[in-house]
């Protein structure tokens, strides 16, 4: 599966500019031959604009579906649509929407672990389920930014059979080492592909990246706007699981009581 990370500069609080840039990135990635496109975290509004979220939120992901979902059908490409500020049933979530090649919404995931030091918990409701889905017959999972620091969640997805873990993020340059080490660790420990898409500019340090199930690098972007394209050879997950098989050897009943 060819996966394109659209590493974009998010304009804080400027929804129209951000939708334009997301549409343009999706088109360019599809034209470069991507099977699946990944966007960064909270690309519609940016992380907590000074004036608050106000009218910056989507409503049940409708605008994302109407605009980017339609482009998926036009270009016959899958989309893990990063995450957006999203209102559903009177609560605000940090939501990742997933679309298949026909533009159908096949999954949605609300970020489970909110970044409390940054005040995210004051604005958002935490999700209550893991993000698992299937694209082109491939079992996949998604976690959003701060979720990466909690190893139980990617392990749960791996136990469910995920072969690829997608990570949309707004990860600061000052914590680049953590970004690199944690994403690589999730690949090695769970023996799956890990693909992380970060933003650049004011809100993120770039360096979108991807790892093989062995922990070997697949690719890494720089610190400016670009599209990182990586090719995940899914036969590798089967070979790694046959050789080492850590997910199936795990005994979750022994360490889920804390």
Q: Three-state SS for 62?
A: helix
Q: What is the DSSP string of 127-185?
A: P-S-EEEEETTEEEEE--GGGGG-THHHHHHHHTT-SEEEEE----GGGHHHHHHHHHH
For residue 141, the model assigns a pLDDT of 98
Closest CA to 9 of 181, 219, 227, 195: 227
Does residue 6 contact residue 39 with C-beta atoms inside 8 Å?
Answer: yes
Question: Which residues of the chain are under the pLDDT cut of 50?
Answer: none
Does residue 2 contact residue 34 with C-beta atoms inside 8 Å?
Answer: yes
DSSP state of 86: E
Closest CA to 97 of 71, 116, 78: 78
Number of domains in the chain: 1
User: Roughly what angle, to the nearest 10 degrees, separates helices 176-190 and 152-159?
Assistant: 30
- Which one of 65, 96, 108, 111 is the catalytic residue? 111
**Domain region containing 112:** 2-254
How many Å is the Cα radius of gyration of the chain? 17
- Report d(CA 233, CA 33) in Å as an integer: 15
Does residue 195 contact residue 202 with C-beta atoms inside 8 Å?
Answer: no
For residue 2, the model assigns a pLDDT of 98
- Which one of 145, 197, 199, 232 is the catalytic residue? 145
Beta strand extents in the chain (DSSP E only): 2-7, 36-38, 58-59, 78-80, 84-88, 91-99, 105-110, 131-135, 138-142, 164-168, 193-197, 209-211, 217-220, 226-231
For residue 12, the model assigns a pLDDT of 93
User: Catalytic residue at 145?
Assistant: yes
Up-side HSE of residue 29: CA atoms within 13 Å toward CB?
A: 34
For residue 251, the model assigns a pLDDT of 76
CATH of the domain at 223: 3.60.110.10
Does residue 71 contact residue 142 with C-beta atoms inside 8 Å?
Answer: no
User: Catalytic residue at 41?
Assistant: yes
User: Catalytic residue at 91?
Assistant: no
């Amino acid at each position: 599966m060819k996966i394109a990370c659209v590493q974009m500069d998010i304009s804080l609080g400027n929804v129209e500019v951000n939708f334009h840039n997301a549409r343009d990135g999706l088109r360019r990635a599809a034209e470069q031959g991507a099977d699946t496109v990944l966007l960064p975290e909270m690309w519609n509004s940016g992380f907590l604009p000074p004036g608050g979220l106000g009218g910056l939120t989507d409503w049940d992901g409708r605008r994302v579906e109407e605009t980017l979902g339609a482009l998926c059908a036009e270009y016959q490409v899958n989309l893990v649509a990063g995450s957006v500020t999203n209102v559903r049933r009177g609560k605000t979530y940090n939501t990742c929407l997933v679309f298949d090649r026909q533009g159908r919404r096949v999954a949605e995931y609300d970020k489970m672990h909110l970044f409390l030091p940054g005040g995210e918990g004051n604005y958002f409701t935490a999700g209550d389920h893991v993000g698992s889905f299937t694209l082109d017959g491939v079992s996949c999972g998604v976690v959003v930014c701060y979720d990466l620091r909690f190893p139980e969640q990617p392990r749960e997805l791996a136990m469910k059979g995920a072969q690829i873990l997608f990570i949309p993020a707004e990860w600061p340059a000052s914590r680049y080492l953590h970004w690199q080490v944690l994403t690589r660790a999730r690949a090695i420990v769970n023996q799956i592909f890990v693909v992380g898409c970060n933003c650049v500019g004011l809100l993120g340090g770039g360096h979108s990246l991807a790892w093989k199930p062995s922990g070997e690098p697949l690719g890494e972007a720089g610190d400016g706007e670009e599209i990182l394209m990586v090719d995940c050879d899914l036969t590798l997950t089967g070979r790694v699981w046959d050789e080492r098989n850590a997910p199936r050897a795990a005994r979750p009943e022994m360490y889920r009581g804390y």
